[in-house]
Homo-oligomer: A and B are copies of this chain.
């Protein structure tokens, strides 16, 4: 029996996506939605977390008939082990990216590159001071060297307390200490997670879950936070700027290059190269009107935040961008890059270029970016794109029209600056109930949902309720396309939020960056808690990842909860096979950490859930609900 295919209109809420999905169908291209259909139904053992492959006495599947694995592990232990490894995969992604940032700063500090430099010296010095590194009368590069050493130590075995724990409220640190989950070195926690989940180590689901929390905290307060801070130091701290979003940012008459991945180290050089007059001249020689650069996914966020480079699309748009037939080249670093992109690129003339040894793609061209050759390699890549312009088949080009304007660049520095260097206006607004609370909506797309339906509708519902929304990652594109990232969007907000945002001239939904930049949200929450003399868990805050798909999203969710922030997910991770683990995630952690997960696929109901939580928190603080 042929399975009934989901109508294209149900796959995405966006016109640009739908148009490209129709074209993909015509062009005979399979996308993530098609592959999901082939992969449905999923294996229920894997989906519920009840399958184990951690040794070759198995693989095992827990069921009523076989309630124990060959080693004797029960469903609870297996689910917790799988979840622990899942989260540590996400932590490793963010944190290894953070390490690459340290190495970049290290190369700059030690004069090993001329291609990179320190763009925000003030931030470097500010962070050094925060971490008790002497700055007075010292050369900036000398301070940078010390900062690198401090950050490298955050990944090691001998650190008792991560550097940025200086930002964490004392009450929160005490909770971690009491539970034995004060995060130590990032890599250590990841390696210990892998060790604990080896056969015959941790066989207590709750204990494994606690270490999962600890590992995620090392990501949030070190790996990700270091990535964010160094990216600001090297490439500039984001400040408000306008940009545009939609597949319409791809230009018919220009050489189109897309950057995709997460780390700005490659893409920042591409930005420079596409502005190289010589290369622009070459493009014109080849018949193009110029060179057009657009972003995808989090590399797109990084460039949009700092350079105003337009955003072609989020996770589920990455394949569809190629389907326009007008993309000469996609250059990627790592994470969330669908392997299918090489194949789809081959159906057109789109070249896929990889740049990191840790993320090669079979069939892609590898142009290794290193600190000493970043600029030269970027030029090489841009030249490759120009060469491909002539291969474009105009008959197969179809680019959705129109772009949507957005405002980006709301770093904490900008927010504080807008309030005159103090949190008082924000605190006052919260106390007065004009801003009832704040919610960070983060993460991904997932073809199991109608693309961005939940991301957009949850955002709209929350701002209606006078709740400020902060967005990062792929939710940026969603809310941008919905017109929520412009000051005019205050018309969709409740009266209190509208008033405050109008007075500050900001949108009711603030773009704070890429997915490592959720560390900015952590920092802001900590600042607020410290300002009020309370724990983060006392604040009327929440996190949400309605359409998440990745291990990194699970890591983010877990460090949010462990940091005291109630976190909504559209669907649970693969833990439902264990009542203990599920109950712990949905309730038990609340007792231990003052926060837990909430699961709700419907964005309207999710808004209610979150609103309820914010009411509770406000009430407990003695504020009107």
Contact = CB atoms under 8 A, between A and B. Distances in A.
A369 to B, nearest CB: 15
A197 interface: yes
Interface string A45-89: 111000101111111110001101111111011000010011011
Interface string A193-227: 11111111111110100010000000000000000
Interface string A155-182: 1111000000000000000000000100
A567 to B, nearest CB: 15
B339 A71 contact: yes
Contacts of A191: 92, 95-96, 99, 155, 186-187, 190-191
Contact of A548 (B56, B70, B193, B205): B56
Contacts of A57: 32, 36, 446-448, 549
Contacts of A238: none
Nearest to A363: B204
Contact of A360 (B190, B203, B342): B203
Interface stretch (A116-124, A330-338, A505-513, A591-599): A330-338
B195 A96 contact: yes
Contact of A204 (B96, B200, B341, B360): B360
Contacts of A186: 191
A2 interface: no
Interface residues of A, number: 101
Contacts of A392: none
A266 to B, nearest CB: 14
Given A32-B70, A68-B35, A70-B32, A358 B158 contact: no
A92 B198 contact: yes
B201 A334 contact: yes
Given A157-B152, A552-B198, A203 B359 contact: yes
A361 interface: yes
Given A35-B70, A156-B156, A188-B155, A55 B194 contact: no
A95 B188 CA distance: 10
Given A60-B39, A65-B38, A198 B551 contact: yes
A115 interface: no
Contacts of A51: 43, 46, 51, 53
A72 B574 contact: no
Contacts of A199: 335-336, 549-551
Interface string A92-132: 11011101001000000000000000000000000000000
A90 interface: yes
A272 interface: no
A42 interface: yes
Given A39-B60, A157-B155, A335 B53 contact: no
A343 interface: yes
A46 B59 contact: yes
Contacts of A334: 195, 200-201
A360 B200 contact: no
Interface string A565-576: 000000101100
A514 to B, nearest CB: 14
A102 B157 contact: yes
Contact of A574 (B53, B73, B359): B53
Contacts of A35: 66, 68-72
A132 B616 CA distance: 62
A157 B158 CA distance: 12
A264 to B, nearest CB: 17
A39 B63 CA distance: 9
A185 interface: yes
B89 A194 contact: yes
A52 to B, nearest CB: 8
A332 to B, nearest CB: 8
A70 B447 contact: yes
B58 A446 contact: no
Given A59-B46, A187-B155, A358 B39 contact: no
A36 B70 contact: yes
Interface in A598-621: none
A340 interface: yes
A29 B32 CA distance: 48
Contacts of A194: 88-89, 91-93, 96, 190, 194
Most buried by B among A38, A92, A552: A92
Contact of A69 (B39, B197, B205): B39
A192 interface: yes
Contacts of A68: 30, 35, 38, 340
Given A42-B61, A53-B574, A91-B194, 6 more contacts: A43-B51, A51-B53, A95-B195, A96-B191, A152-B158, A180-B357
18 contacts: A30-B68, A54-B551, A56-B448, A57-B448, A72-B343, A93-B195, A95-B191, A95-B195, A96-B191, A199-B336, A199-B550, A200-B339, A201-B358, A202-B358, A202-B359, A204-B360, A207-B357, A211-B358
